[in-house]
């Protein structure tokens, strides 16, 4: 509360008032200048009526006048009375009597002085002076005098004042006061920029006004200024745009009456908000640490570590390094929703075409495919810059991929004979038939011709190796009671256990064993006994 610093000023002020009073003695309209409303004060002064005439007092003065009139001449007396009859004003504050003043303007001048002093002592702040409700009563009387100086001094003691502050209120909690709405808006705008710099940059690019703390307003504005969609066509192209930025908490500005000392400057309140309950945390890297391990150990995001420690490249940290693990815990949470559009490749699909003519396990590429492309739209939500969710919201195919078509054999070789035997040699000539020779049974048929030896029927290779007299020999079990034997081979194309189809090449004709020239000795064995092959071929 501003006061008159010393009495001499008050006296000067009072004598000015008296002079003014004398000059304006006969002026009736002085009350008009008293009632000019003052915009910045709460001083309540009713415009009409400012005061009431005290007719009782006027009446009693008339009685005195009559008594004195007897002594001196009526005319002289009247003039004397007139010259010594004055009007004073009784001052009431909220109905309580304070004292009297010569002229009502004295009180108004006191209030004006107070306001100026208040403003001068609190530069930049919006101040309010509370004077209470001041009312007046006039009194006219013979040789009546007012105690103006005393009254003004007494009145002035009762005045109170406060500053008008704009409070930033987050979820009902007042974080602090600044001098005006501009300062408060600046702070909130800076908080948004701090935690959604991408949003701020984009807003700037779109020639936004400073981001509003009012989310609906910001959104409305955004809707008006949607940028033209960036043309994306190549795989790998991407574009990021901000869908919305808002505070998670309810953020309000309220006007409050506060002590001038409670008003903070912008920077101070901004710091209080962004620092919030943040506690700086340092950590010395231990042997065997990794970024992920440290993040897990402290229950923080790896993003925090990378952002706080821009010198970490890749995941390289060394034991003994000191790193900053401080997680920002500001009073206000800025949530931004960003839209990321990316052109991504559609992988080449592989289609298989079955071919039962081809052995199982064998494949052949019939068509070589080509990748396609698609436009993927993700919505990324961040809180104070940390990603909290990422969602695929749209997927649009630009170009379908061409599939690679692969033929796949499905023929299963069962290894079971059909019972229908085929010649094991093409362009064959029979050099010796089945039957008795020199008193001994020639148990098979000897063939010459093409050197490639073929399986006579489907079956499972039972034996591959040398047999006494037969030389290099293959025996195929047709799993139907029949076996076939191929002797004197020079080499084999199958191994024991192989499944073969009729006509599969199994080896090369040779002259191994007891043989008199290159030929195939071929036997058909039915239930353990040889039969005449020529009856089956």
Cis peptide before 49 (omega within 30 of 0): yes
- Distances from the Cα of 348 to the Cα of 396, 399, 404, 406, 505, angstroms: 17, 12, 7, 12, 38
* Pick 219 or 532: Cβ nearer Zn ion: 532
Beta carbons within 10 angstroms of residue 289's beta carbon: 17
Mode of pairing for the β-strands spanning 363-367 and 440-442: unpaired
* Pick 247 or 421: Cβ nearer Zn ion: 421
Q: Site residues (CB under 5 A) for Zn ion?
A: 446, 521
Beta carbons within 10 angstroms of residue 287's beta carbon: 7
Supply the minimum distance, in Å, between the C-beta of residue 475 and Zn ion: 15
* Pick 311 or 438: Cβ nearer Zn ion: 438
* Pick 25 or 514: Cβ nearer Zn ion: 514
Supply the minimum distance, in Å, between the C-beta of residue 446 and Zn ion: 4
- Distances from the Cα of 61 to the Cα of 26, 65, 79, 100, 411, angstroms: 20, 6, 15, 18, 139
* Pick 190 or 483: Cβ nearer Zn ion: 483
Residue 306 to residue 304: CA distance in whole angstroms: 6
- CA-based Rg of the chain, rounded to a whole angstrom? 56
* Pick 331 or 446: Cβ nearer Zn ion: 446
DSSP-based helix, strand, coil % in the chain, nearest 5: 25, 35, 35
Classify residue 302 as exposed, middle or buried by CB count within 10 Å of its CB (0-12, 13-18, 19+): middle
Please, what is the Cα angle at 312 between 311 and 318, to 5 degrees?
115
* Pick 480 or 515: Cβ nearer Zn ion: 515
Handedness of CA 136, 137, 140, 145 (dihedral sign): negative
* Pick 86 or 536: Cβ nearer Zn ion: 536
- Contact predicate 104/21, CB 8 Å: no
* Pick 353 or 534: Cβ nearer Zn ion: 534
Half-sphere exposure of 527 (CA within 13 A, CB side): 0
Query: Residue 24, by phi and psi: left (phi above 0), alpha (psi -120 to 50) or beta?
Result: alpha
* Pick 11 or 437: Cβ nearer Zn ion: 437
* Pick 264 or 453: Cβ nearer Zn ion: 453
Supply the minimum distance, in Å, between the C-beta of residue 422 and Zn ion: 19
Please, what is the Cα angle at 515 between 509 and 519, to 5 degrees?
30
Supply the minimum distance, in Å, between the C-beta of residue 445 and Zn ion: 7
* Pick 117 or 446: Cβ nearer Zn ion: 446
Give the bridge partners for 491, in sequence order.
Answer: 508
Supply the minimum distance, in Å, between the C-beta of residue 447 and Zn ion: 9
Handedness of CA 11, 13, 18, 19 (dihedral sign): positive
Residue 129 to residue 95: CA distance in whole angstroms: 19
* Pick 139 or 446: Cβ nearer Zn ion: 446
* DSSP assignment letter at 319: T
Q: Which residues contact 514 (CB under 8 A, 6 or more apart)?
A: 469, 470, 471
**Length of the chain (residues):** 537
DSSP 427-477: T-EEEE-SEEETTEEE-SEEEES-SEEE-SSSEEEEEEEEETTTEEEEEEE
Query: Hunting for tokens 């002259």 — which residue is that?
Result: 511
DSSP 504-533: -EEEE-B--SS-SSSBEEEEEEETTEEE-G
Residue 150 to residue 232: CA distance in whole angstroms: 83
* Pick 493 or 523: Cβ nearer Zn ion: 523
Nearest residue to Zn ion by CB is 521
For the chain, the straight-line distance linking the first and the last C-alpha, in angstroms and rounded, comes to 129
């Amino acid at each position: 509360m501003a006061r008159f610093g010393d009495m001499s000023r008050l006296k000067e002020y009072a004598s000015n008032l008296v002079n003014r009073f004398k000059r304006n003695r006969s002026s009736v309209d002085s009350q008009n200048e008293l009632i000019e409303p003052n915009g910045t004060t709460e001083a309540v002064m009713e415009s009409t009526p400012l005061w009431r005439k005290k007719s009782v007092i006027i009446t009693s003065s008339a009685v005195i006048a009559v008594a004195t009139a007897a002594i001196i001449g009526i005319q002289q007396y009247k003039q004397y009375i007139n010259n010594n009859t004055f009007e004073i004003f009784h001052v009431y504050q909220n109905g309580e009597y304070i004292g009297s003043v010569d002229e009502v303007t004295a009180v108004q001048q006191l209030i004006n002085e107070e306001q100026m002093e208040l403003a001068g002592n609190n530069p930049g702040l919006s101040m309010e002076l509370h004077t209470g409700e001041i009312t007046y009563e006039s009194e006219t009387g013979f040789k009546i005098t007012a105690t103006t100086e005393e009254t003004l001094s007494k009145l002035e003691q009762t005045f109170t004042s406060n500053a008008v502050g704009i409070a930033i209120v987050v979820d009902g909690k007042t974080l602090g006061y600044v001098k005006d709405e501009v300062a408060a808006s600046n702070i909130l705008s800076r908080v948004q920029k701090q935690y959604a710099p991408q949003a701020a940059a984009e807003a700037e690019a779109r020639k936004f006004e400073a981001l509003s703390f009012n989310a609906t307003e910001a959104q409305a504005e955004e809707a008006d200024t949607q940028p033209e969609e960036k043309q994306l066509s190549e795989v790998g192209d991407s574009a990021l745009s901000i869908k919305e930025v808002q505070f998670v908490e309810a953020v309000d500005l309220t006007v409050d009456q506060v002590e001038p000392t409670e008003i903070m400057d912008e920077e101070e309140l901004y710091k209080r908000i962004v620092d919030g309950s943040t506690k700086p945390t340092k950590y010395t890297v231990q042997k065997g640490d990794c970024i992920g391990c440290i993040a897990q150990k402290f229950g923080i995001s790896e993003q925090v570590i990378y952002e706080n420690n821009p010198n970490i490249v890749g995941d390289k940290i060394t034991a003994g390094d000191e790193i900053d693990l401080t997680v920002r815990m500001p009073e206000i949470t800025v949530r931004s929703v960003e839209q990321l559009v990316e052109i991504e490749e559609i992988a080449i699909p592989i289609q298989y075409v079955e071919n039962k003519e081809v052995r199982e396990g064998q494949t052949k590429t019939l068509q070589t495919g080509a990748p396609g492309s698609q436009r993927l739209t993700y919505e990324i939500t961040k809180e104070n810059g940390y990603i909290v969710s990422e969602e695929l919201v749209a997927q649009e195919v630009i170009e379908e991929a061409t599939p690679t078509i692969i033929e796949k054999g499905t023929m299963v070789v069962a290894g079971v004979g059909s019972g229908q035997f085929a010649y094991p040699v093409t362009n064959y000539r029979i050099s010796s038939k089945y039957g008795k020779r020199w008193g001994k049974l020639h148990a098979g048929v000897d063939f010459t011709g093409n050197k490639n030896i073929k399986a006579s029927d489907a079956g499972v290779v039972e034996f591959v190796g040398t047999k006494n007299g037969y030389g290099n020999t293959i025996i195929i079990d047709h799993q139907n009671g029949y076996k076939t034997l191929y002797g004197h081979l020079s080499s084999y194309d199958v191994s024991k256990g192989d499944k073969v189809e009729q006509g599969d090449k199994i080896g090369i004709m040779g002259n191994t064993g007891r043989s008199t020239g290159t030929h195939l000795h071929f036997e058909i064995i039915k239930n353990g006994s040889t039969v005449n092959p020529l009856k089956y071929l």
